[in-house]
Amino acid sequence: MMKTITTDRAPAAVGAYSQGVLTKDTLYVSGQIPFEPVSMTLAGPDIATQTRQALDNILAIVEAAGLKKTDIVRCGIFMTHLADFDVMNQVYADFFGSHRPARAAVEVRGLPKNVQIEIDAIAVKPSP
């Protein structure tokens, strides 16, 4: 059974998808672009600001599902300029601290709304 997760603390979906879906113990968070939830506008022009906003959006959805940042087990990162990797990586490291989810980062030709980064995630409820 699939439960749809939605929150107004993350941007509304801009297509035919859910912010997140929970199946048993696993939460799948759809790709988050760096839009501010209320205004639905780009958080900022630079990769550091955009990375942080995308991660904040993911965390909002994770928390809406009753999970925590440390329950995130994987992130997929899509960037339009892999030359920005070091900046993105530093923001990512600061965000997660000592928690280190599995991750992939790839360069893509373009992203929705002309953003520089999109991040998706998988989180798992801890065993009782």
pLDDT of residue 114: 93
Q: List the domain boundaries for the chain.
A: 2-124
Number of Cβ within a 10 Å radius of residue 23: 10
Residue 117 CB partners (closer than 8 Å, separation 6+):
33, 34, 47, 50, 51, 54, 77, 78, 79, 80, 84, 88, 111
127, two tokens: 């065993």
| Whether the predicted pLDDT of 128 surpasses 90 | no
Average confidence (pLDDT) over 97-113: 97
Check whether domain 2-124 has CATH 3.30.1330.40, yes or no? yes
Cut 0.95: pTM above it: yes
pLDDT of residue 49: 99
